[in-house]
């Protein structure tokens, strides 16, 4: 990799990092739940951009396809199906603020202590495309987790459909 990245790349990186963190903060602190859902879109895209800067090309595309195209759509569907449609504000009252902030601060302190205190061994970095390596290891070294993941997806989707189907008992 170029040891001194171009100014343009550095500016793009700063933009991606700031968008990721700021929109994640909006997700958490926005009082309106629909704003949180749309801020989540920018968080996912920002993380995908960071994956590009980490030379994880396949993962960046997968992140956009599955998170933005799948999970976020599911979340917005769930949001719109479970709120009264006329009440567009979707207010979310938060609770137990002090304890939560304390616990989050403890976690943050512990993580920062580990990150700063560990002597990371920096390895040599390769800029090769990752698709071929990932594809080969999916079918050799990671064959069992790969098959387990496909079974997990099948079971989860069938289970989700079964859980969400309308039943005659209590459906008004």
Within 103-122, the residues that bind another protein by CB under 8 A are 103-104, 107-108, 111-112, 115, 120-122
Residues 82-101 that bind another protein (CB under 8 A): 82-83, 92-97, 99-101
User: Rounded CA gap, 112 and 16, in Å?
Assistant: 22
Q: Which of 10, 15, 143, 147: binder of another protein (CB under 8 A)?
A: 10
- Tell me which residue of 18, 5, 9 sits closest to 47, measured CA to CA: 18
- Among 24, 41, 61, 68, which residue interacts with another protein (rule: CB under 8 A)? 24
Instruction: Count Cβ atoms below 10 Å from residue 49 Cβ, excluding itself.
Output: 20
If one asks whether residue 157 binds another protein (CB under 8 A), the answer comes out as yes
Separation CA 148–CA 140 (nearest Å): 14
Q: How far is the CB of 154 from another protein (least distance, A)?
A: 9
Q: What's the min distance (Å) between Cβ of 44 and another protein?
A: 7
| 45 counts as binding another protein under rule CB under 8 A | no
* 27 sits near another protein (criterion: CB under 8 A): yes
Distance CA 87, CA 84 (A): 6
- Report the nearest approach of another protein to the CB of residue 88 (Å): 15
The residue among 56, 44, 60, 46 whose CA lies nearest residue 13 is 46
The answer to whether the beta carbons of residues 23 and 39 sit under 8 Å apart is: yes
Residues contacting another protein: total by CB under 8 A: 85
Indicate the SS3 state at residue 91: strand
Q: How far apart are CA 56 and CA 128, in angstroms?
A: 9
CB 23 to another protein: min, Å? 10
Q: Should residue 135 be labelled a site residue for another protein when binding is judged by CB under 8 A?
A: no
Using rule CB under 8 A, residue 15 touches another protein: no
């Amino acid at each position: 990799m170029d040891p001194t990245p171009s100014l343009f790349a550095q500016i793009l990186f700063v933009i991606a990092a700031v968008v990721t963190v700021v929109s994640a903060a909006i997700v958490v602190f926005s009082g309106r739940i629909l704003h949180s859902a749309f801020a989540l879109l920018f968080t996912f895209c920002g993380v995908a951009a960071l994956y590009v800067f980490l030379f994880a090309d396949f993962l960046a595309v997968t992140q956009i396809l599955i998170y933005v195209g799948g999970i976020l759509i599911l979340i917005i569907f769930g949001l719109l199906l479970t709120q009264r449609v006329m009440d567009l504000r979707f207010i979310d009252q938060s609770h137990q603020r002090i304890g939560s902030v304390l616990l989050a601060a403890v976690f943050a302190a512990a993580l920062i202590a580990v990150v700063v205190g560990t002597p990371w061994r920096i390895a040599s970095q390769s800029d090769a495309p990752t698709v071929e390596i990932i594809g080969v290891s999916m079918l050799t070294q990671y064959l069992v987790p790969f098959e387990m993941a496909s079974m997990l997806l099948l079971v989860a989707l069938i289970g989700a459909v079964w859980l969400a189907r309308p039943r005659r008992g209590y459906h008004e």
